[in-house]
Structure 1
């Protein structure tokens, strides 16, 4: 039996997209959508989604659970590395000083990068570890909701 790799990957990508959008993140698929979203006033958390098994399997649950907190970003958005390439490249233009990393999280304030949780901060850690790291960043940079 021959497996259709693109069909298989499509299922994985669809599930990964669904996980994040159901958690409340707005999916950005074009550079124009990225510019509009990342230039909003206030704090914006960007989740750079990825099909990477280990790190992606930690980042997506962390993204979904970290936002259930007293302090959280004003805006939640996501781009999908390796899938929506132009949107991801445009988002990375905002992450000055940080190399490309996926999955990862970027916190911006008024369109400027504040900090990132990069892949090396996710891979090898538990979702709870990443939730705690994100909530610490929210404590330092976000207002109560």
Structure 2
């Protein structure tokens, strides 16, 4: 088996998981600036190919938004794949070290809260959904 082909399949599946859930991919620095500078509330999932991304973070990303309160904007960047876009997004996450997978919650382009890898790894998707929905309760309007 060709490892590169296998990894391409893994990356493609990870991208598909999150975009099918309703998140828009930001793959360039321009996309990031345009997306994250928007007014309102924004959730950014920093995607990755690790097991906790596939087993916990992406399922939590997909399920957390089926809620009475949810962010206005849903975006994703892919750590290790879209490097420049991810680095640019992390500039918006001031005060938080690079972490993937992770979730950044912004309001009017400013970081408000972060669910970092240590808040994801070792937890269940339901636990992470609860963490995200707690943030939504505090900062989002009912839809």
Q: How many residues align?
A: 143
Corresponding residue SS for 1:108: strand
For the residues of structure 2 that align with 1:97 and 1:54, how far apart are their CA atoms? Answer: 23
Corresponding residue SS for 2:121: coil
Do the aligned residues in 2 keep the contact of 1:56 with 1:103 (CA within 8 Å)? Answer: no
For the residues of structure 2 that align with 1:59 and 1:13, how far apart are their CA atoms? Answer: 15
Q: CA deviation at 1:40?
A: 0.4
Q: CA deviation at 1:57?
A: 1.7
The answer to whether 1:75 aligns with 2:88 is no
For the residues of structure 1 that align with 2:13 and 2:128, how far apart are their CA atoms? Answer: 21
Q: 1:85 aligns with which of 83, 86, 95?
A: 83
**TM-score, normalised via structure 1 length:** 0.97
Corresponding residue SS for 2:45: strand
For the residues of structure 2 that align with 1:128 and 1:73, how far apart are their CA atoms? Answer: 18
Q: 2:35 aligns with which of 24, 34, 37?
A: 37
Q: Name the counterpart of 1:127.
A: 125
**TM-score, normalised via structure 2 length:** 0.98
Runs of 4+ deviating beyond 4 Å: none
Corresponding residue SS for 2:113: strand
Q: Name the counterpart of 2:25.
A: 27
For the residues of structure 2 that align with 1:77 and 1:56, how far apart are their CA atoms? Answer: 17
Q: CA deviation at 1:53?
A: 1.1
For the residues of structure 2 that align with 1:54 and 1:135, how far apart are their CA atoms? Answer: 19
Q: 1:113 aligns with which of 111, 114, 128?
A: 111
For the residues of structure 2 that align with 1:12 and 1:56, how far apart are their CA atoms? Answer: 10
